[in-house]
Amino acid sequence: MEQYKSLVIVGSQWGDEGKGKITDYFAQKASMVVRFSGGDNAGHIIVSEGVKHKVTIVPSGILNPKVVNVIANGAVVNLPRLVSELEILKKAGIDTKNLFLSNRAHVVLPYHIAIDELQEESRGVNKIGTTKRGIGPTYQDKVDRLGIRVCDLFDKNFKTKLKEIVEFKNKLITKVYDGKPLDFETIYKELMDNFEIIKGQVVETSTLIETAIKSKQYVLFEGAQGALLDIDHGTYPFVTSSNTSANNASLGSGINHNLITTSLGVVKAYCTRVGTGGFPTELNNKIGEGIRERGHEYGSNTGRPRRVGWLDIVALKYAIRTTGLDKIFITLLDVLSGEPVVKICTNYLLNGEKIFTIPPLNGDYQKCEPEFIEMQGWKEDITKVKNFSDLPTNAQNYLNKIKELCGINIVGFSVGPDRLQTILMESEF
């Protein structure tokens, strides 16, 4: 087989592993970054030259002027939000012309957001804790074959089509959820005004991506959320509505899976989760609070405090297996500095029995108790470390233990939010 150069970067936990930062880092040597799933439920903070940027739907390659950024068919796009995000980036002096949007991507509309909110309300104590960005209802419509795709907006009959859908959605909103109906003309105008701004950047992205890889360019595929939020393999029903898996990079961008050579999982040195759902290693104590404060663990999208817990190898190995990871990259290692002891969960106890995987039933997952190995922590500030050998021995031991337990290589680690605080341990990357 021909040797192509492409890399999928995905989250290996419950999101917010630092995918944005790591994608931006690898993008320095790449020609293209493709976002293949999710929507503006994602939120990535990227710090470059001391300046903090936030993206939700714009691919994390955008800070690299030579990179072509692609929002592919598997993603869902809220056009006003995309346009305003691009405006903010432009104001920060970033060139956003190099961004292309798939004509097959589904569009998030105001009724999706309204329904997301109403569905969450109606779930009561069983709420998922969604980001309320309308992502679930947009993917529901996609599967229901009721979705609006970007290509539809070019169609001369689009207004009539949208009007019928809005009328139908208003019935759902008012009659099922007892909500307020939405105004069609307002929805249509806002959508088309924003489409007008972006339509010159709408293309058939699958051919763009295929051509880039086949001409031996280095192409990155950027996942959103994390493996444990995957609709098929995540901790259902407390998941997002798309396949967050590395395996979805080919479907979500419309290319042959053989064109994707390597997949990299970004792994936070501990765990966080926003929203509800099982979290066996969760730390509801001072240690958890300390990590939350040091790691600024508040949602970059919704501002919610993130739940914090020890690193969970059961969950991580499950993610490696189901999402198809070749290698991992450890982030936020610096945040653990100062912990006298660091713990790693190696198995759960479910009804008194040791288990080494995530059980399918949420009720069982909620009952899982973690069993840990304990390791000595390190006190030193590691935020200026440049090599693995500069790390305190206990931090080295921690990384080595993760590698041993996971059975795959750690290609690098990160010791702070800035692009420069990134250490690569494998030269081939």
- Tell me which residues touch ligand IMO (CB under 6 A): 11, 14-16, 41-44, 128-131, 133, 135-136, 224-226, 229, 238, 240-241, 274-275
229 binds, among Mg ion, ligand GDP, ligand IMO, none (CB under 5 to 8 A by kind): ligand IMO
Of the CA atoms within 13 Å of residue 290, those in its CB half-sphere come to 12
Cβ-contact 310, 13 below 8 angstroms: no
Select 45 or 172, whichever has its Cβ closest to ligand GDP.
45
Identify the CA nearest to 360 among candidates 265, 243, 246, 278: 278
Give yes or no: 141 in active site. Answer: no
Amino acid at 88: I
Determine, following the binding rule CB under 6 A, whether residue 416 of this chain makes contact with ligand GDP. Answer: yes
Is 414 a residue that touches ligand GDP (CB under 6 A)? yes
297 binds Mg ion (CB under 5 A): no
Residue 2 CB, shortest distance to ligand GDP, in Å, is 31
Residue number with CB closer to Mg ion (250 or 300):
300
18 part of the interface to ligand GDP, by CB under 6 A: yes
Is there a binding annotation on residue 225?
yes
16 binds Mg ion (CB under 5 A): yes
Name the catalytic one among 53, 106, 142, 327.
142
Ligand-binding annotation for 294, yes or no, is: no
Q: Which two tokens stand for residue 122?
A: 């109606």
Stretch that binds ligand GDP, among 79-87, 281-289, 330-338, 362-370 (CB under 6 A): 330-338
Distances (CA, A) of 234 to 26, 138, 163, 241, 330: 26, 19, 35, 10, 20
CB of 74 to ligand IMO, least distance (A): 14
For residues 322 and 265, give the distance between their C-alpha atoms in angstroms, rounded to a whole number: 12
Please pick, among 24, 44, 112, 317, the residue that the annotation labels catalytic: 44
- DSSP letter at 97? T
Residue from 118, 335, 344, 423 in contact with ligand GDP (CB under 6 A): 335
Total Cβ atoms within 10 A of residue 371: 14
Shortest CB 17 distance to ligand IMO, Å: 7
Hey, is 158 helix, strand or coil?
helix
> Which of 39, 43, 136, 234 is the binder for Mg ion (CB under 5 A)?
43
The Cα 217–Cα 222 span in angstroms is 16
- Give me the least distance between CB of 233 and ligand GDP, in Å please: 18
**Is residue 99 helix, strand or coil?**
strand
Among Mg ion, ligand GDP, ligand IMO, none, what binds residue 179 when CB lies within 5 to 8 Å by partner kind? none
Instruction: Give the whole-angstrom CA distance, residue 367 versus residue 70.
Output: 41
- Site residues for ligand GDP, window 32-91 (CB under 6 A)? 42-45, 47
Active site residue 386: no
Residue 286 among the catalytic residues: no
What Cα–Cα distance (Å) separates residue 60 from each residue in 203, 296, 331, 415? 19, 20, 16, 19
User: How many angstroms separate the CA atoms of 224 and 59, rounded?
Assistant: 10
Q: At what angle do helices 313-323 and 393-406 cross, to 10 degrees?
A: 50
Non-local CB neighbours of 420 within 8 Å, separated by 6+ positions = none
- Give the residue numbers of the binding site for Mg(2+): 16, 43
- Chain positions contacting Mg ion, by CB under 5 A: 16, 43, 300
Active site residues: 16, 44, 142
Binding site for ligand GDP (CB under 6 A): 11, 15-21, 42-45, 47, 295-296, 300, 331-332, 334-335, 414-417
